[in-house]
Amino acid sequence: MPGRIVLFGATGYTGRLTAEALLARGLRPVLAARSAEKLESLAAELDHSLEVAVADSARPESISALLERGDVLVTTVGPFARFGEPALQAALAARATYIDSAGEPGFVRRVFERFGPAAERAGCGLLTAFGYDYVPGNLAGALALREADRPAALVDIGYFVTGRAAIGAWSGGTLASLAGAMAEPGFAFRDGHLVAEPNGRHVQSFELRGREASAISVGASEHFALPRLEPALREVGVYLGWAGPLSRVLQGLSIPTDAVARAPVAGPALRALTARVPGGSSGGPDAASRARTGSHIVAVARDATGRRLAEVRLDGQNPYAFTAAILAWAAERAAERGLEGAGALGPVEGFGLEALEQGCREAGLARV
Protein backbone atom coordinates (compact mmCIF):
# COMPACT_ATOMS: atom_id res chain seq x y z
CA MET A 1 0.00 0.00 0.00
CA PRO A 2 1.41 3.47 -0.82
CA GLY A 3 2.56 5.57 2.12
CA ARG A 4 0.61 8.64 3.18
CA ILE A 5 1.71 12.04 1.92
CA VAL A 6 1.95 14.66 4.69
CA LEU A 7 2.28 18.26 3.47
CA PHE A 8 3.80 20.45 6.20
CA GLY A 9 3.39 24.19 5.60
CA ALA A 10 0.20 23.70 3.58
CA THR A 11 -1.13 27.15 4.55
CA GLY A 12 1.87 29.02 3.10
CA TYR A 13 2.13 30.34 -0.44
CA THR A 14 4.11 27.43 -1.90
CA GLY A 15 2.36 24.99 0.44
CA ARG A 16 -1.05 25.86 -0.91
CA LEU A 17 0.11 25.59 -4.53
CA THR A 18 1.59 22.19 -3.65
CA ALA A 19 -1.67 21.07 -2.01
CA GLU A 20 -3.51 22.03 -5.20
CA ALA A 21 -0.96 20.18 -7.33
CA LEU A 22 -1.32 17.05 -5.17
CA LEU A 23 -5.11 17.17 -5.47
CA ALA A 24 -4.80 17.69 -9.23
CA ARG A 25 -2.91 14.36 -9.33
CA GLY A 26 -5.79 12.68 -7.52
CA LEU A 27 -3.88 12.38 -4.24
CA ARG A 28 -5.23 12.99 -0.75
CA PRO A 29 -2.47 14.58 1.33
CA VAL A 30 -2.67 15.21 5.06
CA LEU A 31 -2.56 19.01 5.32
CA ALA A 32 -0.35 20.11 8.22
CA ALA A 33 0.47 23.61 9.45
CA ARG A 34 0.79 25.54 12.69
CA SER A 35 -2.56 27.34 12.59
CA ALA A 36 -5.74 25.29 13.09
CA GLU A 37 -7.83 28.19 11.86
CA LYS A 38 -5.89 28.61 8.59
CA LEU A 39 -5.95 24.84 8.07
CA GLU A 40 -9.70 24.70 8.45
CA SER A 41 -10.29 27.46 5.95
CA LEU A 42 -7.80 25.89 3.50
CA ALA A 43 -9.53 22.51 3.73
CA ALA A 44 -12.90 24.23 3.33
CA GLU A 45 -11.67 25.76 0.08
CA LEU A 46 -9.88 22.72 -1.30
CA ASP A 47 -11.71 19.66 -0.01
CA HIS A 48 -13.52 19.39 3.30
CA SER A 49 -12.85 15.69 3.65
CA LEU A 50 -9.04 16.05 3.73
CA GLU A 51 -7.30 15.16 6.96
CA VAL A 52 -5.74 18.19 8.67
CA ALA A 53 -3.19 18.28 11.49
CA VAL A 54 -1.67 21.06 13.57
CA ALA A 55 2.12 20.92 13.81
CA ASP A 56 4.69 23.56 14.66
CA SER A 57 8.44 23.62 14.11
CA ALA A 58 8.75 25.10 17.57
CA ARG A 59 7.27 21.83 18.94
CA PRO A 60 9.19 19.05 17.13
CA GLU A 61 7.09 16.34 18.79
CA SER A 62 4.03 17.72 16.96
CA ILE A 63 5.71 16.90 13.63
CA SER A 64 6.85 13.47 14.81
CA ALA A 65 3.28 12.67 15.81
CA LEU A 66 2.25 12.99 12.13
CA LEU A 67 4.67 10.46 10.68
CA GLU A 68 4.99 6.72 10.34
CA ARG A 69 7.51 4.60 8.53
CA GLY A 70 6.81 4.62 4.78
CA ASP A 71 5.12 8.02 4.81
CA VAL A 72 6.32 10.84 2.60
CA LEU A 73 6.82 14.20 4.31
CA VAL A 74 6.77 17.18 1.96
CA THR A 75 7.74 20.38 3.73
CA THR A 76 7.51 23.96 2.50
CA VAL A 77 8.05 25.49 5.95
CA GLY A 78 10.76 28.10 5.53
CA PRO A 79 13.08 29.92 5.87
CA PHE A 80 14.64 26.49 6.31
CA ALA A 81 17.64 27.85 8.18
CA ARG A 82 15.20 28.88 10.94
CA PHE A 83 12.38 26.36 10.77
CA GLY A 84 13.69 23.45 8.69
CA GLU A 85 15.55 21.06 10.99
CA PRO A 86 12.68 19.78 13.18
CA ALA A 87 10.88 18.36 10.13
CA LEU A 88 14.07 16.74 8.92
CA GLN A 89 14.70 15.18 12.34
CA ALA A 90 11.11 13.95 12.55
CA ALA A 91 11.30 12.27 9.12
CA LEU A 92 14.57 10.61 10.05
CA ALA A 93 13.23 9.33 13.37
CA ALA A 94 10.12 7.90 11.67
CA ARG A 95 12.11 6.60 8.68
CA ALA A 96 9.80 8.51 6.40
CA THR A 97 10.85 9.84 3.01
CA TYR A 98 11.65 13.54 3.27
CA ILE A 99 11.19 16.10 0.45
CA ASP A 100 11.61 19.86 0.88
CA SER A 101 11.36 23.08 -1.11
CA ALA A 102 14.52 24.61 0.37
CA GLY A 103 16.79 26.73 -1.78
CA GLU A 104 19.09 28.03 0.96
CA PRO A 105 22.69 26.93 0.38
CA GLY A 106 23.56 26.47 4.06
CA PHE A 107 20.53 24.27 4.71
CA VAL A 108 21.08 22.22 1.55
CA ARG A 109 24.66 21.62 2.60
CA ARG A 110 23.59 20.49 6.08
CA VAL A 111 21.12 18.00 4.58
CA PHE A 112 23.83 16.41 2.44
CA GLU A 113 26.69 16.50 4.91
CA ARG A 114 25.09 16.21 8.33
CA PHE A 115 21.79 14.39 7.85
CA GLY A 116 22.64 12.29 4.79
CA PRO A 117 24.84 9.74 6.59
CA ALA A 118 22.24 9.25 9.37
CA ALA A 119 19.49 8.79 6.76
CA GLU A 120 21.62 6.22 4.95
CA ARG A 121 22.03 4.25 8.17
CA ALA A 122 18.28 4.52 8.86
CA GLY A 123 17.48 3.41 5.30
CA CYS A 124 15.41 6.44 4.34
CA GLY A 125 15.81 9.01 1.58
CA LEU A 126 16.14 12.78 1.88
CA LEU A 127 15.44 14.99 -1.14
CA THR A 128 16.32 18.60 -0.47
CA ALA A 129 15.94 21.60 -2.80
CA PHE A 130 13.27 19.74 -4.71
CA GLY A 131 11.76 22.75 -6.47
CA TYR A 132 12.78 25.20 -9.17
CA ASP A 133 15.85 25.47 -6.95
CA TYR A 134 17.47 23.02 -7.83
CA VAL A 135 15.78 20.22 -9.76
CA PRO A 136 16.04 21.68 -13.30
CA GLY A 137 19.82 22.21 -13.11
CA ASN A 138 20.33 18.68 -11.83
CA LEU A 139 18.34 17.35 -14.76
CA ALA A 140 20.00 19.58 -17.37
CA GLY A 141 23.45 18.87 -15.90
CA ALA A 142 22.89 15.10 -15.85
CA LEU A 143 21.64 15.13 -19.46
CA ALA A 144 24.67 17.16 -20.57
CA LEU A 145 27.03 14.76 -18.76
CA ARG A 146 25.35 11.80 -20.43
CA GLU A 147 25.61 13.39 -23.86
CA ALA A 148 29.26 14.38 -23.61
CA ASP A 149 31.34 12.01 -25.77
CA ARG A 150 33.89 11.70 -22.97
CA PRO A 151 33.88 12.33 -19.22
CA ALA A 152 33.39 16.04 -18.56
CA ALA A 153 35.66 17.93 -16.17
CA LEU A 154 33.45 20.95 -15.75
CA VAL A 155 29.76 21.73 -15.82
CA ASP A 156 28.18 25.18 -15.58
CA ILE A 157 24.48 25.65 -14.98
CA GLY A 158 22.51 28.87 -15.39
CA TYR A 159 18.98 29.55 -14.14
CA PHE A 160 16.93 32.28 -15.83
CA VAL A 161 13.39 33.52 -15.51
CA THR A 162 11.76 34.55 -18.75
CA GLY A 163 8.96 37.06 -19.23
CA ARG A 164 8.18 39.96 -16.93
CA ALA A 165 9.87 39.29 -13.62
CA ALA A 166 9.46 42.37 -11.42
CA ILE A 167 10.24 42.15 -7.69
CA GLY A 168 6.59 41.16 -7.07
CA ALA A 169 7.26 37.95 -8.98
CA TRP A 170 8.71 36.48 -5.75
CA SER A 171 6.90 35.32 -2.64
CA GLY A 172 7.54 36.82 0.77
CA GLY A 173 8.90 33.43 1.80
CA THR A 174 11.45 33.47 -1.03
CA LEU A 175 12.64 36.96 -0.11
CA ALA A 176 12.92 36.05 3.56
CA SER A 177 14.90 32.91 2.71
CA LEU A 178 17.13 34.78 0.25
CA ALA A 179 17.90 37.51 2.70
CA GLY A 180 19.16 34.94 5.21
CA ALA A 181 20.72 32.59 2.68
CA MET A 182 22.88 35.05 0.81
CA ALA A 183 24.35 36.23 4.07
CA GLU A 184 25.34 32.66 5.05
CA PRO A 185 28.71 31.23 4.06
CA GLY A 186 28.36 29.73 0.58
CA PHE A 187 30.23 26.93 -1.17
CA ALA A 188 31.36 25.75 -4.58
CA PHE A 189 32.81 22.60 -6.13
CA ARG A 190 36.31 23.36 -7.37
CA ASP A 191 39.28 21.18 -8.18
CA GLY A 192 37.30 18.07 -7.27
CA HIS A 193 36.30 19.27 -3.79
CA LEU A 194 33.57 21.16 -2.06
CA VAL A 195 35.10 24.46 -0.93
CA ALA A 196 33.85 27.47 1.01
CA GLU A 197 33.06 30.41 -1.25
CA PRO A 198 30.71 33.37 -0.68
CA ASN A 199 27.51 33.24 -2.70
CA GLY A 200 27.70 35.73 -5.56
CA ARG A 201 31.51 35.60 -5.74
CA HIS A 202 31.54 34.83 -9.47
CA VAL A 203 29.59 36.16 -12.42
CA GLN A 204 29.17 33.87 -15.41
CA SER A 205 27.86 34.72 -18.83
CA PHE A 206 25.42 32.48 -20.75
CA GLU A 207 23.93 32.84 -24.18
CA LEU A 208 20.22 33.43 -23.85
CA ARG A 209 18.15 33.75 -27.01
CA GLY A 210 20.95 35.33 -28.99
CA ARG A 211 22.10 37.65 -26.17
CA GLU A 212 24.66 37.36 -23.43
CA ALA A 213 23.06 37.15 -20.00
CA SER A 214 25.01 37.19 -16.76
CA ALA A 215 24.30 35.21 -13.62
CA ILE A 216 25.82 35.07 -10.13
CA SER A 217 27.26 32.00 -8.41
CA VAL A 218 25.42 30.22 -5.59
CA GLY A 219 25.80 27.04 -3.53
CA ALA A 220 23.25 24.45 -4.72
CA SER A 221 22.43 20.75 -4.68
CA GLU A 222 24.16 20.23 -8.04
CA HIS A 223 27.51 20.65 -6.25
CA PHE A 224 26.81 17.47 -4.28
CA ALA A 225 24.77 15.47 -6.74
CA LEU A 226 26.50 15.88 -10.11
CA PRO A 227 29.99 14.72 -9.06
CA ARG A 228 28.37 11.51 -7.80
CA LEU A 229 27.03 10.92 -11.33
CA GLU A 230 30.34 11.80 -13.02
CA PRO A 231 33.37 11.20 -10.79
CA ALA A 232 35.68 12.87 -13.38
CA LEU A 233 34.07 16.25 -12.67
CA ARG A 234 36.49 18.80 -11.19
CA GLU A 235 34.26 21.89 -11.23
CA VAL A 236 30.54 22.49 -10.87
CA GLY A 237 29.21 26.03 -11.20
CA VAL A 238 25.61 27.00 -10.48
CA TYR A 239 24.57 30.55 -11.36
CA LEU A 240 21.35 32.46 -10.81
CA GLY A 241 20.42 34.76 -13.65
CA TRP A 242 16.75 34.89 -12.70
CA ALA A 243 16.96 37.71 -10.24
CA GLY A 244 17.29 40.47 -12.85
CA PRO A 245 17.25 43.69 -10.85
CA LEU A 246 17.44 41.63 -7.66
CA SER A 247 20.87 40.25 -8.68
CA ARG A 248 22.73 43.35 -7.59
CA VAL A 249 20.93 43.27 -4.27
CA LEU A 250 21.86 39.64 -3.86
CA GLN A 251 25.48 40.33 -4.63
CA GLY A 252 25.36 43.08 -2.05
CA LEU A 253 24.11 40.53 0.44
CA SER A 254 26.75 37.96 -0.33
CA ILE A 255 29.34 39.25 2.01
CA PRO A 256 30.83 37.12 4.78
CA THR A 257 28.23 36.95 7.53
CA ASP A 258 30.03 39.05 10.12
CA ALA A 259 30.25 41.93 7.67
CA VAL A 260 26.61 41.93 6.64
CA ALA A 261 25.27 44.21 9.33
CA ARG A 262 28.05 46.74 8.80
CA ALA A 263 28.22 46.71 5.01
CA PRO A 264 26.88 49.88 3.43
CA VAL A 265 25.34 47.96 0.52
CA ALA A 266 24.17 44.87 2.33
CA GLY A 267 22.59 46.62 5.31
CA PRO A 268 19.90 48.59 3.44
CA ALA A 269 19.43 45.79 0.90
CA LEU A 270 18.84 43.24 3.64
CA ARG A 271 16.44 45.56 5.42
CA ALA A 272 14.59 46.24 2.15
CA LEU A 273 14.10 42.55 1.57
CA THR A 274 13.16 41.54 5.08
CA ALA A 275 10.85 44.55 5.51
CA ARG A 276 8.63 42.91 2.93
CA VAL A 277 8.26 39.90 5.18
CA PRO A 278 6.13 40.21 8.29
CA GLY A 279 5.66 37.15 10.56
CA GLY A 280 3.99 34.25 8.76
CA SER A 281 3.17 33.82 5.12
CA SER A 282 2.83 37.05 3.18
CA GLY A 283 1.74 35.41 -0.03
CA GLY A 284 3.27 35.61 -3.48
CA PRO A 285 2.48 36.27 -7.13
CA ASP A 286 -1.10 35.50 -8.16
CA ALA A 287 -2.02 33.24 -11.07
CA ALA A 288 -1.98 36.09 -13.60
CA SER A 289 1.45 37.21 -12.48
CA ARG A 290 2.75 33.63 -12.48
CA ALA A 291 1.50 33.22 -16.03
CA ARG A 292 3.66 36.15 -17.14
CA THR A 293 6.93 34.41 -16.24
CA GLY A 294 8.59 31.20 -17.31
CA SER A 295 11.95 29.57 -16.73
CA HIS A 296 14.96 28.70 -18.83
CA ILE A 297 17.83 26.54 -17.61
CA VAL A 298 21.07 25.88 -19.44
CA ALA A 299 23.79 23.35 -18.63
CA VAL A 300 27.15 23.30 -20.43
CA ALA A 301 29.62 20.43 -19.98
CA ARG A 302 33.29 20.98 -20.90
CA ASP A 303 36.54 19.07 -20.89
CA ALA A 304 39.58 20.13 -18.86
CA THR A 305 40.73 22.47 -21.63
CA GLY A 306 37.38 24.28 -21.63
CA ARG A 307 36.19 22.71 -24.87
CA ARG A 308 32.41 22.42 -25.01
CA LEU A 309 31.28 18.77 -25.00
CA ALA A 310 27.52 19.14 -24.64
CA GLU A 311 24.85 21.73 -23.96
CA VAL A 312 21.31 21.13 -22.71
CA ARG A 313 18.53 23.70 -22.43
CA LEU A 314 15.20 23.36 -20.65
CA ASP A 315 12.21 25.66 -20.90
CA GLY A 316 9.41 25.69 -18.41
CA GLN A 317 6.60 27.40 -16.64
CA ASN A 318 6.73 29.83 -13.71
CA PRO A 319 9.14 28.74 -10.94
CA TYR A 320 6.45 28.51 -8.21
CA ALA A 321 4.06 26.56 -10.42
CA PHE A 322 6.95 24.25 -11.33
CA THR A 323 7.98 23.85 -7.68
CA ALA A 324 4.48 22.83 -6.62
CA ALA A 325 4.05 20.45 -9.54
CA ILE A 326 7.43 18.73 -9.14
CA LEU A 327 6.95 18.34 -5.37
CA ALA A 328 3.58 16.70 -6.06
CA TRP A 329 5.07 14.41 -8.71
CA ALA A 330 7.95 13.40 -6.42
CA ALA A 331 5.64 12.78 -3.47
CA GLU A 332 3.38 10.52 -5.52
CA ARG A 333 6.24 8.54 -6.99
CA ALA A 334 8.01 8.19 -3.64
CA ALA A 335 4.80 7.09 -1.92
CA GLU A 336 4.06 4.49 -4.60
CA ARG A 337 7.51 3.13 -5.44
CA GLY A 338 9.96 4.53 -2.91
CA LEU A 339 13.27 6.13 -3.87
CA GLU A 340 16.21 4.49 -5.62
CA GLY A 341 18.47 4.76 -2.60
CA ALA A 342 18.87 5.97 0.96
CA GLY A 343 20.61 9.01 2.42
CA ALA A 344 20.63 12.55 1.04
CA LEU A 345 20.02 12.04 -2.67
CA GLY A 346 20.19 14.29 -5.69
CA PRO A 347 17.07 14.36 -7.89
CA VAL A 348 18.60 11.97 -10.44
CA GLU A 349 19.78 9.56 -7.74
CA GLY A 350 16.34 9.61 -6.15
CA PHE A 351 14.33 8.67 -9.21
CA GLY A 352 16.64 7.84 -12.11
CA LEU A 353 17.25 10.10 -15.09
CA GLU A 354 14.42 8.93 -17.34
CA ALA A 355 11.80 9.13 -14.59
CA LEU A 356 13.01 12.56 -13.49
CA GLU A 357 12.87 13.85 -17.06
CA GLN A 358 9.32 12.55 -17.33
CA GLY A 359 8.41 14.11 -13.96
CA CYS A 360 9.76 17.48 -15.06
CA ARG A 361 7.82 17.22 -18.29
CA GLU A 362 4.65 16.57 -16.28
CA ALA A 363 5.57 19.62 -14.16
CA GLY A 364 5.83 21.79 -17.27
CA LEU A 365 9.59 21.79 -17.87
CA ALA A 366 11.08 20.14 -20.94
CA ARG A 367 14.05 20.14 -23.22
CA VAL A 368 14.23 22.64 -26.08
Query: Which residues of this chain interact with ligand NAP, rule CB under 6 A?
Result: 9, 11-15, 33-35, 38, 56-58, 76-80, 83, 101, 103, 129, 131-133, 171-174, 177, 280-281, 284, 319-320, 323
* In the complex, minimum distance from the CB of residue 6 to ligand NAP, in angstroms, rounded to a whole number: 13
Contacts of 49-52 with CB under 8 Å at 24 or more apart are none
Q: Give the 3-state secondary structure of residue 312.
A: strand
Q: Which residue has the closest beta carbon to ligand NAP?
A: 173
CA 291 vs CA 50, 59, 165, 172, 314: distances in Å: 28, 37, 11, 18, 18
Torsion, Cα 341 139 310 210, to 10 degrees, reads -170
* In the complex, minimum distance from the CB of residue 245 to ligand NAP, in angstroms, rounded to a whole number: 18
* Beta bridge pairs of residue 155: 236, 301
Q: What contacts 226, CB < 8 A, 6 or more positions away?
A: 138, 141, 142, 145, 155, 189, 233, 236, 346
Residue closer to ligand NAP (CB basis): 33 or 152: 33
Residue closer to ligand NAP (CB basis): 246 or 309: 246
* In the complex, minimum distance from the CB of residue 174 to ligand NAP, in angstroms, rounded to a whole number: 4
Pick from 178, 158, 196: which is nearest to 295 by CA? 158
Residue closer to ligand NAP (CB basis): 77 or 301: 77
Residue closer to ligand NAP (CB basis): 131 or 343: 131
* In the complex, minimum distance from the CB of residue 180 to ligand NAP, in angstroms, rounded to a whole number: 9
Q: What share of the chain is helix, strand, coil (3-state, %, to 5)?
A: 45, 25, 35
Q: In residues, how long is the chain?
A: 368
Residue closer to ligand NAP (CB basis): 64 or 190: 64
* In the complex, minimum distance from the CB of residue 33 to ligand NAP, in angstroms, rounded to a whole number: 5
Q: What contacts 304, CB < 8 A, 6 or more positions away?
A: 153, 154, 234
CA 195 vs CA 119, 145, 224: distances in Å: 23, 22, 11
Q: Give the 3-state secondary structure of residue 316.
A: strand
* In the complex, minimum distance from the CB of residue 111 to ligand NAP, in angstroms, rounded to a whole number: 13
* In the complex, minimum distance from the CB of residue 24 to ligand NAP, in angstroms, rounded to a whole number: 17
Residue closer to ligand NAP (CB basis): 148 or 346: 346
CA distance 57 to 185: 24
Residue closer to ligand NAP (CB basis): 138 or 154: 138
